[in-house]
Amino acid sequence: MVDFIGVSRVRELLARRGTARFIEELAAEIEADFLRWDTFEKSPRHATHSSVGVIELMPASDGRLYAFKYVNGHPQNTQAGLLTVTAFGVLADVQTGYPLLLSELTLTTALRTAATSALAAQRMARRDSRVMALIGNGAQAEFQTIAFHHLLGIRELRLYDTDPAATDKLERNLAALDLPHLDVVRCASTAAAVAGADIVTTATADKRNATILTPEMIAPGMHLNAVGGDCPGKTELHRDILLRGDVRVVVEYEPQSRVEGEIQQLDPGYAVTELAAVLAGRAAGRAQPREVTVFDSVGFALEDFSALRYLRRLHQQERGAHAQIDLLPELADPKDLFGLLAAQPHTLRRTAGEAA
Amino acid sequence: MVDFIGVSRVRELLARRGTARFIEELAAEIEADFLRWDTFEKSPRHATHSSVGVIELMPASDGRLYAFKYVNGHPQNTQAGLLTVTAFGVLADVQTGYPLLLSELTLTTALRTAATSALAAQRMARRDSRVMALIGNGAQAEFQTIAFHHLLGIRELRLYDTDPAATDKLERNLAALDLPHLDVVRCASTAAAVAGADIVTTATADKRNATILTPEMIAPGMHLNAVGGDCPGKTELHRDILLRGDVRVVVEYEPQSRVEGEIQQLDPGYAVTELAAVLAGRAAGRAQPREVTVFDSVGFALEDFSALRYLRRLHQQERGAHAQIDLLPELADPKDLFGLLAAQPHTLRRTAGEAA
């Protein structure tokens, strides 16, 4: 039997833990794994593109555990009442190849993305950052807000989305959260939201080269947390922002980001720093206060590896519905797979008759 | 909700259908998909190797449906009472990226491997083939036997395995099947089993270059169904067999087979034919009776695609436990992923407190 964490179970685990604490603990797990970067077998994800979206498989292994995530990206799904991004994943034992856990990862992807964004921003944003612009107020927005409020001390959030209903939804959810130390300001445009911000988070979903941020919006000292651009042809930043003399770009895993990140717009020789080097202190996330820093995030399999391991521990620790599914046969004799069918003599006799 | 076919459900479906009929119908599905080979997006599988085995992801898509299989190969697992190969897979809708079905594929992989072997042999073995040697009597053996008895008219089966207990198990299972037109002969060696056979099926599992069949065992007119060699360093045939002047080698998907198949032992320029061309009649599976034909099978994602689609149809048609799992969130507003948590005010208030 394989452990199963469905949507109802992950909601239960989040309720027990609290969303902010969940994100904080998950960020610590992700950081610990990035600190042993070289122990992982890494590869760019496998993507299957269609005219309307992409389906990706993201594997990672540290030689003891293996994880993969299935994730789709379909920007037009919301028009049909469906999610843009859904995901699930599996954690397996490298020694036997047996799956240990199957889990929903739609909610969890939003949580791990926010955790990774906060982890990068802790090293890259100015320490006195208090104002964040949030461009794109869809499914990721609340998670990014909680992460940056809780882990970076953001006190003012400036909102903009081309879809006013998305901003309505975000305002409503944030009001219900009742965060006494967070001011939420609705803005009339991206430029208005970005003006005066210390951190700019972009989490938009168009699958075409979009230009959410243009050079004149960017002020010295800003940190850009570019979450939405994450596949070929899907970008959010005007390339001239990346070509500023004072810019520093951090990516998760360079071979994947060259294809999927904002830097897909640039020459392959353009210099970037990997997040693992920043977290390990081998490279600076920010060298001086007036630098513009960019976390060109696309999402890497290692983050899902960390998330699945963390979920498995919570699932086993916390009371509640500890579901399992019969994804694997259990056999007295492992060479006797066919024996599984032997309890069904009628069938086999019928088979014999047919074969005669 | 996503349809779920666990081990108990696939046993139920097999019991209803009968194993031979299941394999025959599955072979027809696989053939139909190979006949529209060019409509598929194909790629070699993604493999993560360790010292004890391999974990692979095998995706395929026809632009309407997307499928992938997770499968491991761990030859030493049987020593710990575990299966050498386990698998599961998912069928998804390309238009939305949403998963439709999660299914066990351990039993199903054995069934689809047998179906594909039989499909190839129907075009490659001599029509008067009646005697099959089966080298390797483990988890695949009964499925190969049923497929070749039912679909090719094999009347005599000659068994050999280095592990006598595996042959005991196979003999016991075949006796219980009570196939009146199949004679089963236990042999003392591979050479003894192969002598006089029309078809030789090798289904061994060592993860190292093994030499199960050597040149002097091979007689003109034989068809070799090489099932066990399926990853780098895992082969079953002496390379000189492949270098005979009268040999014809058919593979499933050339880019993958160059890495994983028996032909990994040979120069990349060595000529092979793809199964799709043989099934479509564009290439001969066998040109003359005295040729030696080799189906250098490694298992291709397309076969699992066909199997998942076939299983889904059976699952929906047949009565019985039609299980579903909550792998995906269902939202009134797809941009309001966070709304899933809103039913839990205590948590969120606690989160807010922590964040303050």
Tally of residues, chain B: 356
Give the Cα separation of B26 and B38 in Å (integer).
20
ipTM, two decimals: 0.88
> Do residues B321 and B275 share a domain?
no
Instruction: Evaluate if residue B235 carries a pLDDT over 50.
Output: yes
**B196 to chain A, minimum CA–CA distance in Å?**
23
Q: Across the strands, what pairs with A156? A: A131, A183
Do B62 and B198 belong together in one domain?
no
Q: What is the pTM of this model?
A: 0.90
B11, B74, B336, best to mutate vs chain A, most A CBs in 10 Å: B336
Residues of chain A contacting residue B48, judged by C-beta atoms under 8 Å apart: 41, 59, 61, 66, 94
Residue in A with minimal Cα distance to B52: A95
Per-residue pLDDT in tens (0 to 9) along chain A, 356 residues = 899 999 999 999 999 999 999 999 999 999 999 999 999 999 888 999 999 999 999 999 999 999 999 999 998 998 999 999 999 999 999 999 999 999 999 999 999 999 999 999 999 999 999 999 999 999 999 999 999 999 999 999 999 999 999 999 999 999 999 899 999 999 999 999 999 999 999 999 776 777 899 999 999 999 999 998 777 888 899 999 999 999 999 999 999 999 989 999 999 999 999 999 999 999 999 999 999 999 999 999 999 999 999 999 999 988 777 789 999 999 888 889 999 887 643 333 333 333 32
Whether residue A29 is found in the same domain as residue A174:
no
* A224 and A312 inside one domain: no
Give the residue among B219, B206, B277 at the shortest CA–CA distance from B247: B219
User: Residue B356 domain-assigned?
Assistant: no
Is residue B343 one of the residues assigned to a domain? no
Same domain, B154 and B82: no
- Is residue A335 situated within a structural domain? no
According to the model, what pLDDT value does residue B343 have?
Answer: 60
Contact call for A99 and B86, based on CB within 8 A:
yes
Cβ atoms of residues A294 and A247 within 8 Å = yes
Interaxial angle between packed helices B141-152 and B106-124, expressed in degrees from 0 to 180 and rounded to the nearest 10:
40
| Inter-chain CB proximity A57 and B59 less than 8 Å | yes
**CATH number where A93 lies:** 3.30.1780.10
CATH of the domain at A240: 3.40.50.720
Q: How far is B240 from chain A (nearest CA, A)?
A: 30
- Smallest Cβ–Cβ distance between B327 and the set A53, A104, A345 belongs to A104
Let me know whether B91 and B130 are in one domain. Answer: no
How far, in Å, CA of B225 to CA of B75, rounded? 20
Note whether residue B96 is domain-resident: yes
Contact yes or no for A17/A25 (Cβ under 8 A): yes
* Contact yes or no for A43 and B43 at CB 8 A: no
β-partners of residue A59 are: A68
Q: Which residues constitute the domain of residue A94? A: 2-107+303-329
* pLDDT, mean of residues B106-110: 96
Nearest Cα to B74, choosing from B179, B196, B206? B206
Mean pLDDT of chain B: 92
Active-site annotation holder among B33, B161, B198, B230: B230
Q: How many domains are there within chain A?
A: 2
* Nearest residue of B to residue A348, measured between CA atoms: B177
**Helices and strands: H and E segment counts in chain A:** 11, 17
| Closest B-chain CA to A180 | B356
In angstroms, the separation between the Cα of residue A173 and the nearest Cα of chain B is 7
From the list B97, B107, B150, which residue is nearest A53 (CB)?
B97
The pLDDT score that the predictor gives to residue A343 is: 60
CB B304 within 8 A of CB B92: no
B102 and B67 within one domain? yes
In a domain, B331, yes or no: no
The whole-angstrom distance between A320's CA and the closest CA on chain B is: 15
| A135 plus A61 within the same structural domain | no
B246: left (phi over 0), alpha (psi -120 to 50) or beta: alpha
Looking at the domain assignment, is residue A356 inside a domain?
A: no
Q: Does A13 reside within a domain?
A: yes
Catalytic residue among A230, A240, A304, A336: A230
| Closest chain A residue to B79, measured at CA | A334
Widest CA span in chain A: 83
Supply the pLDDT for residue B207: 60
**Does A155 reside within a domain?**
yes
Q: Which chain A residues touch B107 with a CB distance below 8 Å? A: 329, 337, 340-341
A94/B50 Cβ within 8 A: yes
Across the interface, do B82 and A96 touch by the CB < 8 Å criterion? yes
Does A143 share its domain with A213? yes
Percent of chain B past pLDDT 90, that is, above it, reads 84
- Are B292 and B311 within one domain? no
User: Do residues A148 and A267 share a domain?
Assistant: yes
Rounded distance, CA B195 to CA B159, Å?
11
Q: CA of A281 to nearest chain B CA: how many angstroms apart?
A: 27
Q: Which residue has the tokens 């075949």?
A: B174
Active site residue A33: no
Q: Which residue among B7, B46, B99 places its CB closest to the CB of A88?
A: B99
Q: Which residues of A touch B173 (CB under 8 A)?
A: 336, 338-339, 342
Alpha helices in chain A (DSSP H): 7-17, 19-34, 106-124, 141-152, 164-177, 190-194, 239-242, 254-260, 275-279, 301-317, 345-355
Q: Are residues B54 and B77 in the same domain?
A: yes
